[in-house]
């Protein structure tokens, strides 16, 4: 009695007899045994497109990644063959009802893969199907796919032939995986470098914009807390000393100090000179606890480092000279 698997393989074999006109020798053999084989009309051979190419491992990458790739991965392709491009002459064995093993022996790996796929559709747990497909893929240099199939076959039904083939396949599959990881790592490093360059360019652009807003050699009037904070941040980014001058229109000493303050701004273009009218921007004056004018606050890196209260021209000039060169 034949089991279900043998019956299925016999059915596949018979279907191939029907579809392949090159099997006349086998039909003659059947007739010699007394079998009646009907004659079939000659039909035009359906040439299948079997121009499958042997894969050369080369990860896809953009033009920007050309400098990332050092060389192609070195593989042992000594046993790899070219895929068959001509119609297949199938030599089958009735005793085994196995197409794949014979196709491998006559070096028809594409056909063997096709037949193994058909067998695995019928029986997904066929160790023989995975083994045949893995061996065929190894013949074509499809190392990673071959390793997967052979490992599955080994788990289902291990034999020494699978182990021998894996010794050839696994080193190549590992080299491909290592090469892929190396490429991914180099690409990641390049992406990080690109991101860092973009960050630096953005920072430099912000610094240029901030410096342009500081108006070298001029006194800048401040009208709100938000405006003051923006200038403080700009001065901090530019590593500049900032002087905050609190004044009032009704203040006599302020009228004396204001021209001097403007002249000092011209003399020290790398120092940021700000002016706040405490009546116009009373919220700014309140946040700095200004109780008298004129008051000059010296700010470095966003923090107050010194102060001059009153119309003290000498102290103001001394403090500017001191703090403008302290960093």
Which burial class, exposed, middle or buried, applies to 21 when counting CB atoms under 10 A from its CB (0-12, 13-18, 19+)?
middle
Q: Is 33 helix (H, G, I), strand (E, B) or coil?
A: coil
Taking the C-alpha atoms of residue 291 and residue 303, their distance in angstroms, rounded to an integer, is: 19
Taking the C-alpha atoms of residue 40 and residue 274, their distance in angstroms, rounded to an integer, is: 103
* Torsion of the alpha carbons at 321, 291, 251 and 254, rounded to the nearest 10: 0
CA nearest neighbour of 154 among 139, 166, 171, 169: 166
* CB of 244 closer than 8 Å to CB of 296: yes
**Which residues partner with 233 through β-bridges?**
none
Catalytic-labelled residue, pool 103, 251, 274, 281: 251
Q: Judging by DSSP bridges, how do beta strands 272-277 and 242-247 pair with one another?
A: parallel
Task: Report the 10 Å Cβ neighbour count for 57.
Answer: 17
Reply yes or no on whether 99 is catalytic: no
Q: How far apart are the first and last CA of the chain?
A: 98
Reply yes or no on whether 254 is catalytic: yes
* CB of 16 closer than 8 Å to CB of 90: yes
Catalytic-labelled residue, pool 73, 120, 254, 290: 254
Taking the C-alpha atoms of residue 39 and residue 30, their distance in angstroms, rounded to an integer, is: 13
Reading the block at residue 62, the tokens are: 């953009």
CA nearest neighbour of 139 among 112, 167, 176: 112
Taking the C-alpha atoms of residue 145 and residue 112, their distance in angstroms, rounded to an integer, is: 14
Taking the C-alpha atoms of residue 256 and residue 55, their distance in angstroms, rounded to an integer, is: 86
The residues annotated as belonging to the active site are 251, 254
């Amino acid at each position: 009695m034949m089991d279900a698997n043998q019956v299925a393989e016999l059915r596949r074999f018979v279907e191939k007899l029907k579809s392949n006109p090159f099997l006349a020798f086998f039909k003659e053999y059947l007739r010699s045994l007394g079998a009646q084989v009907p004659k079939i009309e000659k039909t035009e051979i359906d040439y299948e497109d079997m121009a499958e190419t042997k894969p050369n491992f080369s990860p896809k990458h953009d033009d920007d990644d050309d400098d990332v790739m050092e060389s192609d991965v070195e593989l042992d392709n000594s046993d790899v063959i070219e895929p068959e491009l001509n119609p297949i002459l199938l030599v089958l064995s009735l005793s085994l009802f196995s197409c794949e093993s014979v196709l491998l022996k006559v070096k028809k790996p594409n056909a063997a893969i096709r037949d193994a796929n058909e067998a695995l559709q019928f029986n997904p747990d066929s160790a023989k199907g995975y083994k045949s497909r893995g061996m065929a893929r190894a013949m074509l240099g499809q190392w990673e796919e071959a390793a997967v199939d052979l490992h599955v076959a080994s788990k289902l039904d291990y034999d020494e032939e699978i182990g021998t083939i894996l010794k050839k396949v696994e080193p190549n599959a590992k080299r491909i995986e290592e090469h892929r990881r190396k490429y991914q790592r180099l690409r990641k490093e390049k992406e990080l470098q690109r991101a860092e360059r973009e960050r630096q360019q953005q920072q430099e652009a912000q610094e240029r914009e901030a410096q342009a807003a500081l108006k070298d050699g001029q006194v800048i009037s401040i009208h709100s807390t938000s405006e003051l904070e923006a200038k403080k941040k700009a001065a901090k980014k530019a590593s500049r000393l900032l002087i905050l001058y609190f004044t009032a229109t009704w203040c006599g000493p302020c009228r004396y100090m204001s021209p001097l303050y403007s002249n000092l701004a011209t003399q020290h273009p790398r120092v940021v000179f700000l002016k706040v009218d405490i009546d116009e921007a009373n919220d700014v004056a309140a946040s700095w606890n200004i109780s008298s004018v004129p008051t000059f606050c010296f700010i470095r890196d966003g923090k107050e480092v010194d102060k001059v209260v009153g119309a003290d021209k000498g102290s103001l000039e001394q403090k500017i000279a001191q703090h403008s060169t302290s960093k």
